[in-house]
Amino acid sequence: MRERGSEGGLIRLNRYLALNGIASRRRADEMIQEGEVMVDDEIVTELGTKIDPTLHRVEVDGVVLKPEGERKRYYLLNKPSGVVCTNDRRENRPRAVDLIADRKKGRIYTVGRLDEDTVGIVILTNDGDFAYRLSHPRYGIRKVYRVTVHGEITEEDLAKLRAGVRLSDFRSHFEKVWLKKKSKMRSTLLLTLTEGRNREIRRVFAHLGYPVRDLRRCEYGSLSDRGLKVGHWRPLTREEVAELADLACEENAGPPPKKVRRAARAPHRGERYGEQARGRSRPRRARHSR
């Protein structure tokens, strides 16, 4: 292995894999321990290993990550239902990255994720810093979802949506809630999120008693799904990339999010999708001396 660069240019190997869309940091650690990662043609199994991306050659499954001179790629996909946002080659379901039919795309990955059942626009790129800024809640990139639910939503429940609905592990927070139309059979709303939790929209409406019929992301930052049919994709223009980069610049960044200490408790009736925390023990009672 070549001599490492200065400390300022080093990055943990698991984080480098995550930034390149290979796997989460936890899964990257497993891949390292299992000998699936090579640095400068040597297998690395030691956790905590640091590399300098400008000096070291990192290889996973025969693919070299970010070879020197690689052109950065940016795509917009209108993801269909049934497609997953993962780069795991062992995945048997259709993957979003496989729908990008550009032969020059190289190794790309999705910026954030959409649930398998959710339709809507997704950005795919090989630019790790760009992807990090767009997906980090500190930069507050605005995302708009159109949701259609069973039933006629009440004014009381609209007020709850705007105030925030308490679930078992967090309180929902929608920046804006618009009611587009409603009938006795269904209601359609537009919701704005800057920080989304796993299946948050579906969980909130299930908690309120309105099963989701259709959910799609129609806007992401300065981008929208207008003119892009479901299942289709296109490259982003330089102007679009620049606009997104401006939205995620340091001047627009907020303070680092605070870590919230979550208390374990039984879920409310009506909560779904595995909301009850798993593997958590009940808090111990304090002992009072007499």
Which residues are catalytically annotated?
115
Query: 48: buried, middle or exposed (CB in 10 Å: 19+, 13-18, 0-12)?
Result: exposed
**Lookup: tokens for 163:** 């105030």
Residue partners of 166: CB distance under 8 A and separation at least 6: 172
E strands present in 52-185: 58-60, 63-64, 74-79, 109-110, 119-125, 143-150, 176-182
The DSSP code for 242 is H
Distance CA 200, CA 111 (A): 18
* Coil, helix or strand at residue 148: strand
